[in-house]
Every structure is written in structure tokens, then in C-alpha cells.
Amino acid sequence: MTGRVFAAVASLLLLVITLSPVVRAPTDDGFPLSTYPMFATPRSPEVAMSYALGVSRTGERRYLRPSWIGSGEVLQAYTIVADAVRGGAGPSQALCRKIAERIAASGDDEIATVRIVSGRHDAYDVLLRDQLGPEAERTRCQVRR
């Protein structure tokens, strides 16, 4: 095979591989290129999740640092809370106390209470209208100083 023929075949093969995601189903993720199905398929704007919140001395909602929950990474902190809630009242209360201890040790004197809640929110309402959906409190504990 001459150099020109090889180059033409290789170019054609690369072109076919590059265009292959166009003819595959959006959920068909894999070699040689990803279709990124997490972005290629419609998703509901409704989000249901559990999370920890702080409450200030004046009753205002405060978002907590992931490190107070138990990790410097947001998604790992989310998993810590989700695992505790799935575990029931005991693990949720234990996590709540640990978070309160970390807040107290940090020197933050604004947050007085920690709440672990499960909420169901519409992303459009939260981002566009600053409106939260319903929340169910799993547990709460005081930050002791």
C-alpha cells in the first residue's frame, strides 16, 4: 500500500470514527467517542436530595461548608449526608452532631443550629425565582460553644 493510499484510508477511518456519535442513540455511550448521555437526554428539572443546613441565631438559613460536613469536596459531602439519611435516625443524628462540633471548632459564631433535611426542588424555581420546594427535616442539633 502506498503512502497516499494509506493516508487516505486512515483519514477516512478517522472521519467515520469522529462522526459515529451522530448516528448512534444519545444513550449509547462508549468507544471510540462519548455521546455524553448525561447531557444528551432530557432530564426533569425536579431535584430530590438530602442536605445539611445551618440556621443562624436570628433564624436565617445558612449554607454549610463541605468541610464541616466531612469532606472538602461538594459531591463527597453530599454522599455523606445521603448515606446518613438512608441509614435512619441514628446515623443522621450522629452526623448532625459531628457537623455541629466542626462548626464550633471553626470559630464560626453565626450558626446556632444544624438541620439535616430532605428537599424536593424545581431547578427553575430555585434559580429563576429563588423559591424552594418542600423540605422534610430529618434531624436537628444545636451548635454548642
Q: What is the pLDDT of residue 22?
A: 77
**Of 99, 5, 122, 114, the residue nearest 54 (C-alpha):** 114
Walk across the sheet containing 46-56 and list its strands.
61-63, 46-56, 111-122, 135-142
Question: How long is the chain?
Answer: 145
pLDDT tens-digit series, residues 24-56: 777 777 766 777 777 777 889 999 999 999 999
pLDDT tens-digit series, residues 64-102: 999 999 999 999 999 999 999 999 999 999 999 999 999
Q: What is the pLDDT of residue 29?
A: 76
Question: Full-prediction pTM beyond 0.85?
Answer: no
Helices and strands in the chain: count of H runs, count of E runs = 6, 4
Contact of 50 with 117, CB cutoff 8 Å: yes
85: CB partners within 8 A, 6+ apart: 50, 91, 92, 116, 118, 138
